[in-house]
Amino acid sequence: MTVVTRFAPSPTGLLHVGGVRTALFSWLYARRMKGKFVLRVEDTDRERSTDEAVRVILEGMQWLGLDADEGPYYQTRRFDRYREVIAGMLAAGTAYHCYCTKQELDALREGQLARKEKPRYTGLCRSRTEPRPGVPPVVRFRNPTDGAVVVEDLVHGPVSFQNAELDDLIIARSDGTPTYNFCVVVDDMDMGITHVIRGDDHLNNAPRQMNMLRALGSTPPVYAHVPMILGPDGAKLSKRHGAVSVLQYEEEGFLPDALLNYLVRLGWSHGDQEVFTRDEMIAAFDIHDVNKAASAFNNEKLLWLNQQHMMRAPPARVVPYLQAQLRRIGIDSNDQTLLEGVILAQRERAKTLKEMAQSSRFLFVDSIEVDPQAAAKHLNPEGLGRLGQVRERLAALSEWTAPAINAALNELATQLAVGLGKIAQPLRVAVAGVAVSPPIDVTLGLLGRERTLLRLDSALARKTA
RNA sequence: GCUCCCUUCGUCUAGAGGCCUAGGACAUAGCCCUCUCAAGGCUGUAACACGGGUUCGAAUCCCGUAGGGAGCGCCA
Measured at the CA of A362, the angle between CA A357 and CA A368, to 5 degrees, comes to 135
Rounded, the Å distance between the CA of A348 and C1' of B31 is 21
Q: To the nearest whole number, what is the mean pLDDT of chain A?
A: 91
Question: Predicted confidence band at A461 (pLDDT cuts at 50, 70, 90)?
Answer: confident
Nucleotides of B under 7 A from a protein CB: 1-8, 10-15, 23-27, 34-40, 69-76
Q: What is the pLDDT of residues A86-129, one digit of tens each?
A: 999 999 999 999 988 888 888 888 888 777 777 888 877 888 77
pLDDT of residue A17 exceeding 80, the answer is yes
Number of H helices and E strands in chain A, helices first, is: 19, 12
The pLDDT value recorded for residue A70 is 94
Pairing of strands A138-141, A95-98: antiparallel
The pLDDT value recorded for residue A465 is 55
Rounded, the Å distance between the CA of A9 and C1' of B42 is 47
Residue A7, CA distances (Å) to A36, A45, A60, A187 in order:
11, 17, 13, 12
- Nucleotide closest to residue A266 (CA–C1'): B12
Rounded, the Å distance between the CA of A141 and C1' of B12 is 42
> Rounded to an integer, what distance in angstroms lies between the CA atom of residue A327 and that of residue A318?
14
Rounded, the Å distance between the CA of A230 and C1' of B16 is 27
Overall average pLDDT of the A193-203 stretch: 94
- Nucleotide closest to residue A44 (CA–C1'): B76
> Rounded to an integer, what distance in angstroms lies between the CA atom of residue A362 and that of residue A376?
19
pLDDT of residue A49 exceeding 80, the answer is yes
Measured at the CA of A188, the angle between CA A220 and CA A62, to 5 degrees, comes to 135
Residue A319, CA distances (Å) to A278, A308, A326 in order:
18, 16, 10
Give phi and psi for A118, each to the nearest 5.
Answer: -75, 125
SS3 A142: coil
**Nearest-CA residue to the C1' of B36?**
A436
| A102 assigned to active site | no
> Rounded to an integer, what distance in angstroms lies between the CA atom of residue A308 and that of residue A302?
10
- Nucleotide closest to residue A422 (CA–C1'): B35
pLDDT of residue A38 exceeding 70, the answer is yes
Question: Predicted confidence band at A438 (pLDDT cuts at 50, 70, 90)?
Answer: very high
Sheet of strand A170-172, all strands in order from the earlier edge strand to the far edge: A95-98, A138-141, A170-172
Q: What is the pLDDT of residues A230-275, one digit of tens each?
A: 988 887 876 656 668 999 999 999 999 999 999 999 999 999 999 9
> Rounded to an integer, what distance in angstroms lies between the CA atom of residue A53 and that of residue A15?
7
Rounded, the Å distance between the CA of A265 and C1' of B15 is 17
Overall average pLDDT of the A53-64 stretch: 95
- Nucleotide closest to residue A302 (CA–C1'): B26
Q: Distance from CA of residue A102 to its chain's centroid?
A: 40
SS3 A170: strand
**Reported ipTM:** 0.94
The pLDDT value recorded for residue A111 is 80
Most confident of A42-51, A55-64, A174-183: A55-64
The pLDDT value recorded for residue A242 is 60
* CB of A20 closer than 8 Å to CB of A7: no
Proportion of chain A above pLDDT 70, given as a percent: 98
Sheet of strand A4-7, all strands in order from the earlier edge strand to the far edge: A70-74, A36-41, A4-7, A195-199, A222-226
Find the catalytic residue in A34, A102, A236, A239: A239
Q: What is the pLDDT of residues A149-158, one digit of tens each?
A: 999 999 999 9
Q: What is the pLDDT of residues A378-430, one digit of tens each?
A: 888 888 889 889 998 998 888 999 999 999 999 998 998 888 999 999 999 99
Any bridge partners for residue A149, and if so which?
A161
The pLDDT value recorded for residue A122 is 82
- Nucleotide closest to residue A116 (CA–C1'): B1
SS3 A265: coil
pLDDT of residue A71 exceeding 90, the answer is no
Q: 3-state SS of chain A: helix, strand, coil percent to 5?
A: 55, 10, 35
Rounded, the Å distance between the CA of A20 and C1' of B71 is 23
Question: Predicted confidence band at A208 (pLDDT cuts at 50, 70, 90)?
Answer: very high
Residue A294, CA distances (Å) to A16, A195, A283, A332 in order:
16, 21, 24, 43
Measured at the CA of A350, the angle between CA A344 and CA A355, to 5 degrees, comes to 110
Overall average pLDDT of the A31-39 stretch: 96
* CB of A206 closer than 8 Å to CB of A155: no
Q: What is the pLDDT of residues A330-378, one digit of tens each?
A: 999 999 999 999 999 999 999 999 999 999 999 999 888 889 998 888 8
Structure-model confidence comparison of residues A309 and A174, the more confident one: A309
A157-160 — which CB contacts under 8 Å span 24+ positions?
A159/A203, A159/A206
Measured at the CA of A318, the angle between CA A314 and CA A322, to 5 degrees, comes to 150
The pLDDT value recorded for residue A118 is 78
**Nearest-CA residue to the C1' of B71?**
A204
Q: What is the pLDDT of residues A440-457, one digit of tens each?
A: 999 999 999 999 999 999
The pLDDT value recorded for residue A72 is 94
Rounded, the Å distance between the CA of A400 and C1' of B36 is 22
**Nearest-CA residue to the C1' of B37?**
A436
